[in-house]
Chain A
Amino acid sequence: MTITESEPTTPEQEGSDAETPLAGQLHKLPRRDAVLRMSEVRAAEMANEPIVGENDQTMLVNMGPAHPSTHGVLRLMLEMDGETVRRSKPIVGYLHTGMEKTGENLTYLQGPTNVTRMDYASPLFTEMAFALSVEKLIGLEIPERATWIRMLMCEMNRISSHLLFMATNGMDLGAVSMMIYGWREREEVLRFFEAVTGLRMNHNYIRPGGVAADLPDGWRDSVLRLMEMLPPRLEEYDILMTGQPIWRDRLQGVGTLTSDEALALSVTGPVLRSTGVAWDLRRDEPYLAYDQVDFDVVVGTYGDAFDRYAIRLAEIRESIRIVGQILEKMPKGDYRAGDAKVTPPPRARIDESMEALIHHFKIFTEGFKVPEGEAYAAVESPRGELGVYIVSDGSSKPYRMHVRGPSFTNLQVLPHMMADGLLADAVASISSVDPIMGEVDR
């Protein structure tokens, strides 16, 4: 959709003389819209242009891509009137590494290694969405234990990801100690990941057909230790932040979003739930065995940054609840599918049988073939709906892979959240959306 040059400026000239709040709203809405519709090239040109039909009191500030609070390499173009942000536009692409394209050259077994690097704060979710999508294409049933292991790992990952949010949110608002505390708790969770998958991040643990390895000895104790350690620490967060007057002042009423806006912009995850829309894929389109566990979908009322903070804090507690139930219900059995086409033979058989060795070699070099077709599978990642769409041409590599990244979609709300707020509110808004740029740019 193209717009004429004069369109954004005309309504504001009419409204500029009237200082009533209503007139302010009327002239702002189309302008905000215009910024959203503008092409990136056009928006980039704005930096060198005098602002038409506007008093020259505003200045354009490029926030990022190298800025302490843009969560990596997000770039925001802000039109500032003193301390107030008028229009803004997020510009992405600084971390583009072509992972979706790379995925077309990797076999389905190599795929998770690739996708796990997208959302590096919650890598297991991308792996799982990928695995679910591939399994959908093959029509593969995975064993119970694999399902529950996946759930366990994902809920733990949700905890670690939200803890990371607690840390960065605190940091962005100037509560520097909170950053360390958040990282400290996250580190404990990552230690568990390391014990299970061998790596702190980018695990390549959830693969089509199950998981890479069974849970190690003593996993139950480490999980129980975590479950014991976390709740008191979360109460400390409550004392340090939730009840803290400056904290509330900084977040309440900041970056507000209505449910209509959120739905129109296809926002998902805590950002959507903060506006009062109870939408959680785990409950509304259950995958794995989420229909067998009991948990609450936490929603907010005002859709502001404080709601988003509180929802994430509550979701950590819900995840702890889910993990508790998973511990009880964890079944015995195999951790990967018995389908020999997908699953490499066990290590012991390789020593005995030449065929097994060849089979093993084939699976890891050529990969397994996936029937022609297309499939989309989505999971509820800590940031929202994370979906992987795969088109298969019958070979052992995807013909096309596309990832629906929640961070990417959620970023569109930033101009809405930040309009007419102060610069400090803009920082709080970015932080409350919790974007991971690796997943935005892919």
Chain B
Amino acid sequence: MTNFLSDGVSAGDIVLAGIKAVIAFVICLVATMLMVWFERKVVSRLQNRIGPNVTGPFGLLQTLADGIKLFFKEDIIPSRSDRFVFQLAPYLSLVPAFLTFAIIPIAGDFSPGNDGTVTLPGGQVTGFQVADVPAGILFFLAMSSLGIYGIMLAGWSSGSKYPLLGSVRATAQAISYEAALGLSLASVILVSGTLSTSGIVQAQAEGGFFGMNMIVTGFVPFFVFIVAGTAELNRPPFDLVEAEQELVGGFHTEYSSIRFAMFFLAEFMNTVTMGAIIVTLFMGGPSAWFGLYFLGWFGGFVWFFAKLLLFLFMFVWFRATLPRLRYDQLMDLGWKLLIPISLGWLLVLGGIRVAQNGDIGLFESNTADVIFVLAVSLAIMAIGATLLQKAITNSAQERLASRGLRSVPTQQDLAASTTEQDGGH
């Protein structure tokens, strides 16, 4: 084999990359198709319905049928829209959704002594992911930010009011929750010591079940990530961007035919990918729990899929159970709860790590240092939480006051406000 590109890249590598990309693409499409079916079926069951059951066995082909139907629908572009951006937006939404999947190790043998790679007959050593990017996590953040552009531009370019509101909501939501997402990710990076997804999985695989980042980082970043991730996905209860009852269809109100299908596809693809990211970062990805390794790399795939299913079910469960948050409540949750908590937790984790390394040296033993750090940081967090709570209460009261007569009087206000209300009439 001749090296016809730069050093180290053989034609075999390129073929391999191509094959992996195709396989990943197919997996993506099939997974999305199944996810749509899964969601509809589970939601139906939770709502005393049967769900799709006619098209194919158990209604499995329902998504395919819907897709074909949408292909043959008329593609309407509103006359007041910005044609170019309007047509571009679905791709901007779809492509990042697929790209994120490239960094996820979906299989592989991570049992002790293995690093999840296999050696192919051609001599290449490869992991079960399209690209093992050294800065994999940053790639994920970049892609999830890019995906918002699709939604935002779709809303802007539609030339219609409800999509506009939807896109404004999308922008605000993305900015707010990206921060919480990034901060909870920082905790993972801190304990794993790497940005590469396969590296993170390997770091967790070494510790077995209790080596999962979910446990090692102390659960808080995990929960923050789930909440922020759900918001990032625009899934219920954070689906303000396409809140049907308020904005009709939100950003995709004006879309029809295959362009609508692309948004739909991107949304479900993102759901699958977000579930996969959570599994990778917090649940050990394809590595087995309790040392239950089997069948080499295929066992890794089974483990990965089982863990993924857990989160996909959780997303569907959220949708079936929770009412939607209001716009300001969403912002409050993001800025006043998730970001401070993940920031504080990152500092605690960092402090503990420094103390464990013996870099503080206040006391003779590192354990005493750790306890000291914990005590100090908990005290600071308590003070911070009190201040924050006060700030939240104050702002809530101010907001109610600015709404004047429409506010609900608190118990203390009841007596005082009577005269004011009389004056108002």
Contact = CB atoms under 8 A, between A and B. Distances in A.
Contact of A258 (B243, B326, B405): B405
Contacts of B327: 83, 422-424
A68 B237 contact: no
A249 B47 CA distance: 24
B329 A258 contact: no
Interface string B256-275: 00000000000000000000
A177 B46 contact: yes
Nearest to B239: A174
A67 interface: yes
A205 interface: no
What does DSSP make chain B's interface, helix, strand, loop or mixed? helix
Contact of B400 (A171, A177, A253, A419): A253
Interface in B319-349: 319-329
Contact of B246 (A170, A177, A423): A423
Given A258-B421, A302-B408, A427-B246, A174 B47 contact: no
B323 A247 contact: yes
A38 interface: no
A198 interface: no
A174 B400 contact: no
Interface stretch (A22-30, A130-138, A342-350): A22-30
A304 B408 contact: yes
A184 B48 contact: yes
A25 B328 CA distance: 21
Contact of A425 (B49, B243, B326): B326
Interface in B120-176: 161-162, 165, 168-169
A174 B161 contact: no
Q: How many residues of B sit at the interface, in one of the four size bands?
A: 35 or more
Contact of A180 (B48, B243, B319): B48
Interface residues of A, number: 49
B243 A174 contact: yes
Interface string B46-73: 1111000000000000000000000000
Interface string B24-51: 0000000000000000000100111100
Contact of A176 (B161, B319, B400): B319
A252 B243 CA distance: 20
A69 B48 contact: no
A67 B326 contact: no
A68 B400 contact: no
Contacts of B421: 258
B161 A424 contact: no
A174 B406 contact: no
Nearest to B403: A420
B401 interface: yes
Interface in A233-259: 240-241, 244, 246-247, 249-250, 252-253, 256, 258
10 contacts: A22-B404, A67-B248, A69-B245, A82-B168, A174-B323, A175-B322, A181-B47, A241-B323, A252-B408, A423-B246
Interface of A: 21-22, 24-25, 28-29, 59, 61, 67-69, 80, 82-83, 170-177, 180-181, 184, 240-241, 244, 246-247, 249-250, 252-253, 256, 258, 260-261, 302, 304, 417, 419-425, 427
